[in-house]
Amino acid sequence: MNSHYRVYGGELSYFTRKLEAALIFYGADFEIVAKTPDIAADVEQRSGTHQVPVLQTPENWMIGDTTPLMYLLDSRFPGREMFPDGALGVLTHVLEEYFDEWIARTMVHYRWHYEESAEFASARMTGGNAEAAARIRAWGPRACRATGTDSQHQQDQAEAEYLRIMEALELQLQSTRYLLGDRPTAVDCVVLGGLRAHTNMDPTPKRAIAGYQRVLAWAEQTADQWDGEGELAPFPESTPFARFVLGEMQLTYVPYVMANGQALAAGAKAFHADIYGEEVSYLCRPYPERSRQMLRQKILTLAETNDSDLVSNWLKATSLNCFA
């Protein structure tokens, strides 16, 4: 049977590069194909989404959404899973959720609020088509407003939060090969996606992270050199990087995702949340709530296992009540 995978996406796409990192870790036979206008309609019709990436499997299925895709791929590449079993898998998924649904907005801010980066990205995305590039640049600030980085205070604080993460990553790479130990997980995939598609690609954030030499060497070369070996740090202690991110989540992601879920349940189109000491307006987004519920369902599947009480106590200890 053919074992080749095809990814429809783009080199400047956060989630395309996340999936690319995962496929490298799986040791999969794959290629990345640009989602150009001549194939876009077919890809979107078959996958049911206009977003990228879309994975074409060896069976000729077209599937979107990187987290469920990685669960599927975990079942196909035994020994190279990106989500561990049991409680450690929950911790991995929780951390991945933060980068998927919160830090992604910082990537959008860096790209579209700085003229130099907006010019670079829009030109590269459109192959130099000036008219198409202008349309993309007009869209960018609207995406920033929808995701709450309109004010200067929010922009400054989002950048500071990301640089704190880079500092924690730089320190973690002194002692382990990957973020949760000596083998990669979905957390490594999404962090690499952000570095490769955005902050080590666009000129403005690239200068901001230039001093993190271990991070850059990891993203540019060493992360891909996994030999299939290594252990993860145990649950619930995990690594200093993981503990740091969990602390950040309590201050930003948790109030955001809870307010988003409550607003959706009430049928609202927008909501407010207190982020970085400021009341911020956001458009309601159905996907973060679906994703949160997916993770809650994963936690419920542990109910008949020895890990159930461990995870329940851990969620309380880390104030991650949004998943309880």
pLDDT in tens for each of the 324 residues of the chain? 569 999 999 999 999 999 999 999 999 999 999 998 899 999 999 999 999 999 999 999 999 999 999 999 999 999 999 999 999 999 999 999 999 999 999 999 999 999 999 999 999 999 999 999 999 999 999 999 999 999 999 999 999 999 999 999 999 999 999 999 999 999 999 999 999 999 999 999 999 999 999 999 999 999 999 999 999 999 999 999 999 999 999 999 999 999 999 999 999 999 999 999 999 999 999 999 999 999 999 999 987 788 999 999 999 999 998 998
Backbone angles phi, psi at 274, to 5 degrees: -85, 105
* pTM, rounded to two decimals: 0.97
Say what the pLDDT of residue 171 is.
98
| Secondary element (H or E) of residue 14 | helix 14-26
CA dihedral for 121, 97, 213, 217, sign (positive or negative): negative
**SS3 category, 228:** coil
Contact 166, 209 (CB under 8 A): yes
The pLDDT score that the predictor gives to residue 133 is 96
* Residue 114: partners with Cβ closer than 8 Å, 6 or more residues away: 202, 204
How many Cβ atoms are within 10 Å of 80's Cβ, its own excluded? 17
Q: In this structure, which CATH number among 3.20.20.150, 3.10.310.30, 3.40.30.10, 1.10.10.60 belongs to the domain 4-76? A: 3.40.30.10
Work out the end-to-end distance of the chain between its first and last CA atoms, rounded to an integer number of angstroms: 42
Amino acid letter, residue 56 = Q
Phi/psi for 29 (5° steps) reads -85, 110
Output the pLDDT for position 221: 94
- Tens of pLDDT, residue by residue over 96-124, are 999 999 999 999 999 999 999 999 999 99
Question: What is the per-residue pLDDT for 304?
Answer: 77
- pLDDT score recorded for residue 305: 84
Work out the widest C-alpha separation in the chain, in whole angstroms. 58
Whole-number pLDDT of residue 103? 98
Which two structure tokens, joined as six digits, stand for 283?
């458009």
The H or E element that residue 310 is part of is helix 307-317
d(CA 222, CA 195): 14
Which residue matches tokens 């079942």?
75
Rounded Cα–Cα distance for residues 160 and 205 (Å):
12
Are 52 and 58 in contact, with CB atoms under 8 Å apart?
no
Q: Domain residue spans in the chain? A: 4-76, 86-323
